[in-house]
Amino acid sequence: MTGLAWDGRAVAGRPSRARRTGVAAGAVPEEVVVNRYGFTLRVRPEMVAEYRRRHAAVWPEMVDALRRTGWHNYSLFLAEDGTLFGYVETPASLDEARAAMAAQPVNARWQAEMAPFFEGDGLPADQMMGTLEEVFHLD
């Protein structure tokens, strides 16, 4: 994506944006604008250890699907009380990135396996993400 600029300020209801320069061997650097998103979920406290174990061995086809659908620099952080914080960068909106993953057959299998781990209203975890507003960023 080109033509988008980030002025350094997060705006409520909109993602913050950053520029990343990708350089392949022998290629001209290309600037790509990415959107940064933070989100939270709640893992059932009694399932924290098993959640960690499962994420130590994420299926390769799930990782491939995430990459293909624009999920980059994706991290999950988990506290002992079950608070889960996620961070992801994508050239799309978070809704578009989630929709792209929803179209991947492996995602349906992964979400079904992960559903019992989460507190909430029974929706798949990727539909219960509580998005956060970025209030500060330092490159």
Domains of the chain: 36-132 (3.30.70.100)
The answer to whether 28 and 12 have CB atoms below 8 angstroms apart is no
**Residues 82-130: pLDDT tens digits?**
999 999 999 999 999 999 999 999 999 999 999 999 998 878 888 889 8
Question: What is the value of pTM for the model shown?
Answer: 0.77
Place of tokens 């350089």: 23
Q: Which of 55, 67, 68, 137 is catalytic?
A: 55
Is 137 considered catalytic here? Answer: no
H/E run at residue 108: helix 105-114
